[in-house]
Amino acid sequence: MVSRRNFLSMTLMMAALFFLFQFSQIMRDQENDYDTNEYVGGIDIEMGDYWQSGEMHFASGEFVAFVGDMGGEFYSVVSQWCQYTKRNLVAFDSMSAFSREDGICPEAVFVDAGRLSLYPDVNLFRKYMQKDGLNFVLTNLPGPGVIRQSDPLMEILGIADVVEAETELAGIHLFDGLLLGGEAIYEVKKEEKEKQDLNFTVPWYRTAYNTRTYMMGILYDRELDNEYLPALIWRNSVGEGRIYCINTDYAQGVLGLGVLSGIMADMNSYELYPVVNARNITVANMGGFSRENQEKLNALYSRDQAGLMQTIILPDLLAMMEQSSARPTYFLSPQYDYEDDILPVTDNYAYYMQQINEQRGEAGWSLEAKPGTSLGKKMAEDSEFRAKLETRYRFGAVYMLEEDLEKLPEIMEEKHSMEEKHSMEEKHSMEDALLADMRTISIKGEDRGNARVLSFNEDGVTLQSITNHAERHTYMDDLQLKAAETALGYSNMLMDMNMVLWPGSLDEQWEILGDRISRNLYTYWKAYDYFDATTMSESDARLRRFLRMDYTHERQGDVITVQISGVEGETYFILRTHGEEIADAQGATFKKMEKDAWLVCAQGTEVTLYMKRSREAGRE
């Protein structure tokens, strides 16, 4: 039996605990200013502000040359890569048109083999490599039949034998050192066929003894030393020059950006280039505001859309993001079907925003709707919903499909008309305008992303492409993620909630989809945690500085000096070396990412890096 005294003590203790719990919750709610977006901002940028490659002539600074079709895919990749690395570009339509002035040599010459004239061009390769020490990169190769007929060409390319014009590989081996993320083996297996999206049918070239291979094929049931296996990316030396050969389509798209950056890091004694330093997560089409697709969701989850999002999906997402230290951007979608007469309600908005803000995430707006929905209709209805929210929140980030980019002028015209309207009518707040604060767009494009990963349009809105999908990770996905991180220090992982809210198959139920997303998030996205996790607006601010900045660097002995111009504030660089490490720095902080790879954060306009021989190099 409990005495009155003990009962009173227990009651007082429970009351105190209840008060403390309630008080802490009240304080947390009061401190949670979910109606403010602290991440929107950064410099404004116009078409004339961003760094542009020099005109097509020999320049006094760093530059590279391109030989080939200036309207083709390879030129597009090389020119975009030059834009990101701040290199000037000189272009020629053929090797015979290529020339160099005395004392002025390009850092490298990129050649589209489709424009080669076999015999005269082989002699030009030999001359420039032996006499001038020029370095060449072949973004593709002539056909195996052409190569087999020319011993001089085989010698220049470092090919000892054309074993087979076409062979089936059992896998592909990417060696450590070319791309960030390290060594990888992509095997052909009977299981997990959905992952095997690389081209495993290639010409079999056996390289000569003095070559170095960065990627090679693995063969079925053949015990051969590495030098006899099909080479996919390798280099050969002729005199003082080097020639890099790409025996696949790996010089295309975003993958091409990473491969070129890796080749330049191998080619030079050190390679220093700017990056964005941003790992983003786009949670697209964040619904839960309407009762759309209710019959199917009730059958699968015994809940409507709002209940599913609030009690199952959002708590799971928050836990995933917390464990992976992510800073996601949730793109709100009031509705997906604008023809069903089911209108969205604002009930869950405050709860969503509180949870997002506590996680230091960001809210954006989705411009995707059910196919066939006009952009004008969506924007009109979303504007009405936005007005009902009575919020001061600045939605600086927008999500849309690449195929809708052609509608961007229409969006911007609508944005400007809203700005003019609200500037004339003081009784309306600018914050009522749906896209008044739009500064960046998260773009979902083709799975095989093109090289224009990051850019901006004439209205100063930046475009940040999706680089990988959270629910899957194929072999090509893995290579493209490595490439994007290598070339740009950037990734943007997509989690599309429409897959759950409008499931097309049993695999898109949250129990299955959520498990795949969490495994890929913890395994592949977190592997590059030496780059910062950012919201889309934080990434936008960094991207604006990245696009606008220029820099020069020089080395004297063990000291590398970097001069930065065009921007204020922090900028980021990757430094790749050969057996060296940063001993100290002035004007910057630094951290090691991988062997011979460093992330440098410049805090001003001048940086000094003091280098020394690395311990790893001493042990080798």
Determine the pLDDT at residue 57: 40
Q: Are residues 248 and 107 in the same domain?
A: yes
CATH number at residue 159: 3.40.50.880
The structure tokens listed for 455 are 């850019």
**SS3 state at 11:** helix
Identify the pLDDT of residue 469. Answer: 94
Q: Is the pLDDT of residue 250 over 70?
A: yes
Whether 572 is covered by a domain: the verdict is: yes
Residue 229: which residues within 8 A CB-CB, separation 6 or more?
Answer: 206, 216, 217, 218, 219
**Among 451, 492, 527, CA closest to 279:** 492
pLDDT value for 398: 95
In angstroms and rounded to an integer, the radius of gyration of the C-alpha atoms of the chain is 28
> DSSP string spanning 236-249?
EEETTEEEEEE-SS
User: pTM above the 0.85 mark?
Assistant: yes
Q: Work out the pLDDT band at 23, boundaries 50, 70, 90.
A: very low
Lowest mean pLDDT among 47-56, 363-372, 608-617: 47-56
CA neighbor of 383 nearest in space, from 451, 344, 433, 436? 433
Query: Mean of the pLDDT values across residues 200-224?
Result: 91
CA distances (Å), 267 to each of 209, 244, 389, in order?
A: 19, 9, 56
> Which of 29-38, 391-400, 474-483 has the weakest average pLDDT?
29-38
Span 148-193, pLDDT tens digits: 999 999 999 999 999 999 999 999 999 999 999 999 999 998 877 8
Sequence-ordered list of residues with C-beta below 8 angstroms from that of 601, at least 6 positions apart, any chain: 277, 570, 571, 572, 588, 589, 590
CA dist 242 and 199 (Å) reads 27
Average pLDDT on 407-425 reads 62
Per-residue pLDDT tens digits for 75-103: 999 999 999 999 999 999 888 888 766 55
Q: Which pLDDT belongs to residue 27?
A: 44
Mean pLDDT over residues 277-281, rounded?
A: 97
Whether the per-residue pLDDT at 429 is higher than 70: the answer is no
Same domain, yes or no: 213 and 103: yes
Interval 302-356: pLDDT, tens: 999 999 999 999 999 999 999 999 999 999 999 999 998 899 999 999 999 999 9
- Would residue 28 count as lying in a domain? no
pLDDT of residue 432: 46
% of the chain surpassing 70 pLDDT:
86
Higher pLDDT, 252 or 423: 252
- Domain boundary (222, 248, 275) is at 275
Cα-to-chain-centroid distance, residue 254: 8
* Residue 270 · residue 614 · CB < 8 Å: no
* CA nearest to 495, candidates 244, 336, 280, 338: 280
Beta bridge mates, 172: 186, 217
* End position of a domain, from candidates 259, 275, 291: 275
pLDDT digit string, tens, across residues 578-604? 999 999 999 999 999 999 999 999 999
Residues 499, 581 share a domain: no
Asked if residue 41 belongs to a domain, the reply is no
The verdict on 247 and 379 lying in the same domain is no
Does the residue 42 lie in any domain? no
- pLDDT value of residue 59: 39
Query: Angle 475-488/73-85 helices, nearest 10 degrees?
Result: 40
pLDDT of residue 230: 95
- The domain total for the chain is 3
Q: For every residue of 124-169, which 3-state class applies, written as one string?
A: HHHHHHHHHCCCEEECCCCCHHHHHCCHHHHHHHCEEEEEEEEEEC
Distance CA 345, CA 342 (A): 10
Q: How confident is the model at residue 56 (pLDDT cuts 50, 70, 90)?
A: very low
Do 287 and 264 share a domain, yes or no?
Answer: no
- pLDDT at position 24 is 43
pLDDT at 515 over 90: yes
Q: Which domain holds residue 430?
A: 278-542
Which of 481, 510, 542 terminates a domain? The answer is: 542
CATH number for the domain that contains residue 572? 2.60.40
